[in-house]
Structure 1
């Protein structure tokens, strides 16, 4: 592995200064506090400012089409993470916009993409169903053709950002009699259509997601992406991106794996606890001078570094599992006051490990459970067979 640093030229240093000044102006303490209070992982004012400055389009496009250079893209990504830009809704919008560009009808592309780049259009993912779990191909939400329109009925769980978005990237079943991967069609559904109801759900870490109901929702045919019953082809690219099953660039100017933003909370918790146990207590002793404390903190730090260095879909699993494994240990090391949340007087580490403990279970669910990802690794990487969950046959 190459651990050398990139030497920035004068233009790139000027860009770094520009980005830091811009983000410092727009991503204020009030923005971060409001984001914690709402759990939205989105701030419209910040998002529109980023769009108006041209950064959304430059991030989305490759360098050959006017996007960031590889170095500037990396600067932009790291600076956004450093100041905790509310990010989730742009992540889903960016993925869906690529599917729209590849499979959308020209009039739909012209309607959507310019407003995506300005920040006025955001898009969310309508995959999971209340009874479907992580296997989205078992979709029961129906789309039935009626002339030049489609009528959609069903419901979707965990449609994060729906209340801040204008469109949902919706997987539907258009042929119940076909095999499950041959029965799916994808739509980009405007969320202001009659018959759509969005209900908020609060997760244990304080984030907001949604359940969305579709009751006789009429959608024009122009919002169909790709071919009827060809939805799996449309869906494959966004799914691979969400799963982290994409090839890494040879220049190393990117995260080793996806979820590095989430893993940042893990790094912050380790740093905060390390600072806490390095301070003398009322008896004048530093907790870290106790061998068991030093060992457990060192073990957690080593697990963190190993997870951050694990590539591809393996890293997706390693980071989420490591969050679950070390969060309780970090709270125990920091002591009873670690149960107090952020910005609470007396919190041992300003709530860093307490938040990680609540966030860790969710990190192992996003985009599919850890069990699903382990099965994917077993089948598609290691070449093992599908798991058999049925009870053994009686002989």
Structure 2
């Protein structure tokens, strides 16, 4: 692994300066405060501004087709995170747009993709179901085709459809052959969320984020909204899940984001810096907490574990980041004491609530996009060649 510093060209320096100035003007304190209150991880004004400036198109487009260069893409990813941009849902939109471009009809591509790149159209994922857990292939949301084949009727419910209330379409997984074999009875649609029969209800997670449960009651979907073949949805889903899980080829330039969830890890790093600053500052009696050997040890161990997690690629990094956050957040809280339990912008909050937020964020980070247990099983089977786990009781 190459940890050498990259010397930026004049062109890249100019890009860095322009992007920082742009984000500084758009991602204001008010935007960050509003995002913290709503938990939406999205701001329409910022999103539309990024689209109008051409940043969304450059991020979605390959370098060979006029998108960001490898260096610009790395600058983009880092600066977006450092500015605390309400941003997480662009990744979902970009992911779905990729599969629309690959598998949808020309009519649907022309209807959706220009609006995605301008920022006007957002896309969300309709995979998980209230009783389905991480195994999305157990899909019970049914789509029944009309006799003439021109349209479908959808009934069911989807859980954790984040940003549905700010999106135009949902990438919806349905069961189109209930009696058929698992993985061969699934079909995907890009469904307009304004369609009659769709109800979106907000849900708050423990870290304060908003997600949604979405109900589909006799929803009529035109066949032109189908993505891929009938009962061939798993072919599309497999590629989509690999992208969501962070299973991707490594860029030989060594500049790519190593793993998913690095944004959460950067927030954790900022919180750890804030905790260390408090620990290093003298109290009213002139004593510094860092002088306590146990405090110094825990902060040092936390920093080392976080650096290791940030340097771990692919789905290994996905596990390392979430597990590290869960392990070091309690230490950060303990070092700060009782005032660490107060949230950001609360009078008397230690380190302005940084550790408290990471403590709440750590739990869901180990669930988003699949649980840590799912990823550990994937690593065991796909990388280590171990057999599938057996959960039945021994005879």
> TM-score by structure 2 length?
0.98
2:229 pairs with 1:227: yes
Match of 2:93 in 1: 93
Match of 2:284 in 1: 282
* Matched residue SS, 1:19: helix
Query: Pairwise mapping of residues 150-165 of structure 1 onto structure 2 (< 5 A)?
Result: 150-165=152-167
Distance (Å, rounded) in 1 between the aligned partners of 2:300 and 2:79: 28
Match of 2:113 in 1: 113
Q: Please give the per-residue CA displacement for 1:163-218, whole angstroms capped at 9, x wherever unaligned.
A: 00000001000011111110100100000000000000001111000000000000
Match of 2:33 in 1: 33
Distance (Å, rounded) in 1 between the aligned partners of 2:235 and 2:228: 8
* Matched residue SS, 1:152: strand
Q: Please give the per-residue CA displacement for 1:66-112, whole angstroms capped at 9, x wherever unaligned.
A: 10111111111111111011112211000000000000000000000
1:283 deviation in Å? 1.6
Distance (Å, rounded) in 2 between the aligned partners of 1:73 and 1:59: 7
Query: Pairwise mapping of residues 342-381 of structure 1 onto structure 2 (< 5 A)?
Result: 342-381=344-383
Query: Pairwise mapping of residues 110-189 of structure 1 onto structure 2 (< 5 A)?
Result: 110-146=110-146, 147=148, 148-189=150-191
* Matched residue SS, 1:351: helix
Q: Please give the per-residue CA displacement for 1:129-179, whole angstroms capped at 9, x wherever unaligned.
A: 000000000000000101310100000000000000000001000011111
Distance (Å, rounded) in 1 between the aligned partners of 2:21 and 2:123: 28
Match of 1:72 in 2: 72
1:222 deviation in Å? 0.5
Number of residues paired by the alignment? 393
Distance (Å, rounded) in 2 between the aligned partners of 1:269 and 1:12: 29
Match of 1:263 in 2: 265
* Matched residue SS, 1:100: helix
Match of 1:8 in 2: 8
Distance (Å, rounded) in 2 between the aligned partners of 1:350 and 1:268: 12
Match of 1:47 in 2: 47
1:4 deviation in Å? 1.3
Distance (Å, rounded) in 2 between the aligned partners of 1:282 and 1:296: 23
1:359 deviation in Å? 0.7
Distance (Å, rounded) in 1 between the aligned partners of 2:83 and 2:309: 22
Distance (Å, rounded) in 2 between the aligned partners of 1:40 and 1:65: 32
CA RMSD in angstroms, aligned pairs only: 0.8
Q: Please give the per-residue CA displacement for 1:288-318, whole angstroms capped at 9, x wherever unaligned.
A: 0111110111111111111111111111001
* Matched residue SS, 1:180: coil
1:246 deviation in Å? 0.9
* Matched residue SS, 1:59: helix
Distance (Å, rounded) in 2 between the aligned partners of 1:261 and 1:238: 20
* Matched residue SS, 1:349: helix
Distance (Å, rounded) in 2 between the aligned partners of 1:228 and 1:376: 27
2:273 pairs with 1:291: no
Match of 1:252 in 2: 254
Match of 1:325 in 2: 327
- Structure 2, unmatched stretches of 5+, are none
Match of 1:58 in 2: 58
